[in-house]
Structure 1
């Protein structure tokens, strides 16, 4: 690509970026205006107040305009007819306008930190609305907990991460309801094998395909056990040259598991004739494996939280530290109740593996190309996501890329916690292979704090020369010559 062509390509991408920014700012301003409009049509009553009823808000409005509960507990009620004005102004249906006003009210009154970032153009409106829709069932205190913890990452938090935080808030501030719902979910578990509904390849001729549907709902620990066994057997079938289609091998693996017992061997006495002596015989018993990634805080070590007292939760003020952190490879991270972990680990056939705490301030290196588990765990703990700009894929399923290309004849210690970064497969390919049109590739490097660059970050350069800085707070444009000035975006 010659200089003139590259300049044109850069200008086009700059135009896309500038117009996207302008659209984001305009959308944020419109959303704030909707919230201002709703605030001008509220009542003194709030959602969830047991001392007020709809009739007490406005007795004459029962046949006409009424106040609606659009936000969560603690948010003011909003006049129904004002929503029609919003629908007309935006050219949308009443139901769509009602959802929009409800999200604006939720953010304005129960998630003020996230709302402030939306108003400043730092968070997309759709992301803020996604958070508002998730927090609406929470108590006022629980919504404030979510607001405090998600506001600074609202611009990059995925829907699954928001849902996990909302679930944690519900467990912290309403533990009785959370535990009751967990036990209530036990009745929803089932496993169905539709033997009476055999699939046919051609319903007209009656040609039998010989497959049936299997579906169900399992306890998380049971599902993990089953997934581990299916993945193991499917991998074995692949190594034996079985069907290359992974989905087919997984379906075959379930049948293999049904025909054999994959577990530990113990010695038990045959409970046959109780009058005769019998020799112990080997019995296969399935073993559950629970891997705990330990995340200790001050409360777990000392038994107190911020000096408040023994076992007092600083967030809720209640006695007891009732939540555990779930950080299992292949699953999203989140919080579960201690009682549930105890139920998983309580079986005598359960093998519990406790992973050590990783000191992210200590760096490690080896001489070979493939990193050992201790280095891989360190890198993934430091970078929970793929480090490509705006990517949200988990690092637990990502490749570990050598930022500086590995040289077999190079110096020792090239495979290190400083030189490895997680890249999902798609972005690993983009970094490795050149773009056909430009002949360039995406490149990146760690930042250098001695050159006035932020620590613990990487700077990417696109094939057309645009640069982006990626750190734990997300992605932002980075100018081509040094750090941004006072008028540059940050």
Structure 2
């Protein structure tokens, strides 16, 4: 691509960015106007206030009330109630249904009165309206204190928070501020575990094909740790079937794998086919039962070591100031990340088939380095703890499954210490390829470098990287997300 063509292409990308920003600002202004309109039609009563029992109303008064304007509870506890008829004006102005306008007004009220920090960023055009509404819809059932907790922790990253990340934070807030309900729900979920094999359907004819199916449906609900163990084993046996000559697609091989696992298990002794004899061979050998592995990453600070947790004693939640439940964070490849109770972790670790590994990470600000190309576990864990996600702009893939890339290319003849916590960054496989290989249209590739806060002329923040696209556009990525960065002066 010649210089003139590249200049035109850059101008087109700049136009896309400018139009997107203008649309975001306009949508935010319209959303703020909806909130202003709804606020002007609120009552002094708030959601959660006691309401006069219907039984105390005279019948004619009740009918009259239903026929006239009413106040609706559209936000969570602590938000004011809103006059119903004002929603019709919003629906007409936006050209949408009443139900859609009702949901819009409810989200605006939730943000304005219970999530003010997120609301402020929406009003400033820093957060898309749809992202703010997604957060508001998740917090509606939380207490006022729990919603404030979510607001404090998500406001500064609301511009990039994904749906699962929001759900995990909401679940953590519910556990912290309503531990009794959380424990009751977890106990109810434990009691609802089941595994059903529909053997009663064997021999029935498929109504669509008219043929005997010869298959049965299996469904159930498992404990998370048991589900992870089963998934790992099924995936492993499905890969083995390929090596043994099975040419079925992945879904079929996974179903076959479950039967293989059942046939290999005999009481407490696991029997495994000898690969040389094939799946139909008679040779089997007893092996040890597969063990579950629980890896605990222990994050400690000086207050935890010294036992001075800001005056909070054992069993007191530092975030809520009241007795609560202890939480841990789940970060397992192939499983959803989020908060779980410490009691559940204890139950996993108490199993006799569990191997428990404790890996302490004391201070992520310390640097470490080795001379070889491949980083040891301590450095890999350090880097992934420092960067929870792929460091490519706007990527949210977990660093637990990402490659560790040498930002400055490793040189066999270079100085020692090239594999260090300062030079390694997690990149998911797709973005690792984009960083490694050149783009066909421009002949350039994505490049990045750590920021240099010591250079006063650049005004770069610490603990971040700056990416340059093949078109010359730059982006700054730190733990708070991705930010467009000014182009270089050259």
TM class by smaller structure: 0.7 to 0.9
Name the residue aligned to 1:424: 428
Name the residue aligned to 1:459: 466
Shift of 1:264: 8.8
Name the residue aligned to 2:293: 289
Shift of 1:425: 1.8
SS at match of 2:229: helix
Query: Does residue 45 in structure 1 map to residue 55 in structure 2?
Result: no
Q: 1:332 aligns with which of 332, 336, 350?
A: 336
Name the residue aligned to 2:322: 318
SS at match of 2:442: coil
Quick check: 337-346 or 32-41, which moved more? 337-346
Paired residues for 1:269-284 under 5 Å:
none
Count of equivalent residues? 466
Name the residue aligned to 1:10: 10
Name the residue aligned to 1:269: none
Name the residue aligned to 1:276: none
Quick check: 179-188 or 195-204, which moved more? 195-204
- In structure 2, C-alpha distance between the alignment counterparts of 1:396 and 1:66, rounded to whole Å: 52
In structure 2, stretches of 5+ residues that fail to align are 271-285
Name the residue aligned to 1:23: 23
C-alpha spacing 1:201/1:65, structure 2 compared with 1 (3 Å)? closer
C-alpha spacing 1:482/1:405, structure 2 compared with 1 (3 Å)? same
Paired residues for 1:73-84 under 5 Å:
73-84=77-88
Name the residue aligned to 1:274: none
Shift of 1:192: 2.6
Quick check: 189-198 or 397-406, which moved more? 189-198
Q: 1:436 aligns with which of 436, 440, 462?
A: 440
Q: Using structure 1 for the length normalisation, give the TM-score.
A: 0.87
For the Cα contact (< 8 Å) 1:384–1:396, is it kept in 2? yes
RMSD of the alignment, in Å?
2.9
Name the residue aligned to 2:197: 193
- In structure 1, C-alpha distance between the alignment counterparts of 2:44 and 2:125, rounded to whole Å: 30
SS at match of 1:401: strand
Shift of 1:310: 4.3
In structure 1, stretches of 5+ residues that fail to align are 267-281, 484-490
Shift of 1:219: 1.0
C-alpha spacing 1:482/1:318, structure 2 compared with 1 (3 Å)? farther
Listed one character per residue, the Cα deviations across residues 7-44 of structure 1 (whole Å, up to 9, x for unaligned) are 11111100100111111111111111111111000111
For the Cα contact (< 8 Å) 1:291–1:328, is it kept in 2? no
Q: 2:226 aligns with which of 222, 240, 257?
A: 222
C-alpha spacing 1:388/1:286, structure 2 compared with 1 (3 Å)? closer
Paired residues for 1:158-237 under 5 Å:
158-195=162-199, 196=201, 204=209, 206=211, 210-237=214-241
Shift of 1:459: 0.9
Quick check: 322-331 or 33-42, which moved more? 322-331
Query: Does residue 377 in structure 1 map to residue 384 in structure 2?
Result: no
Shift of 1:285: 5.1
Quick check: 433-442 or 189-198, which moved more? 189-198
- In structure 1, C-alpha distance between the alignment counterparts of 2:220 and 2:149, rounded to whole Å: 34
Paired residues for 1:240-319 under 5 Å:
240=244, 242-243=246-247, 245-261=249-265, 287-296=291-300, 300-303=304-307, 305-319=309-323
- In structure 2, C-alpha distance between the alignment counterparts of 1:361 and 1:234, rounded to whole Å: 42
Q: Using structure 2 for the length normalisation, give the TM-score.
A: 0.87
Name the residue aligned to 1:471: 478
- In structure 2, C-alpha distance between the alignment counterparts of 1:198 and 1:404, rounded to whole Å: 63
SS at match of 2:404: strand
Listed one character per residue, the Cα deviations across residues 62-91 of structure 1 (whole Å, up to 9, x for unaligned) are 322111110001110101111111111111
- In structure 1, C-alpha distance between the alignment counterparts of 2:5 and 2:389, rounded to whole Å: 34
Paired residues for 1:346-361 under 5 Å:
346-357=350-361, 359-361=363-365
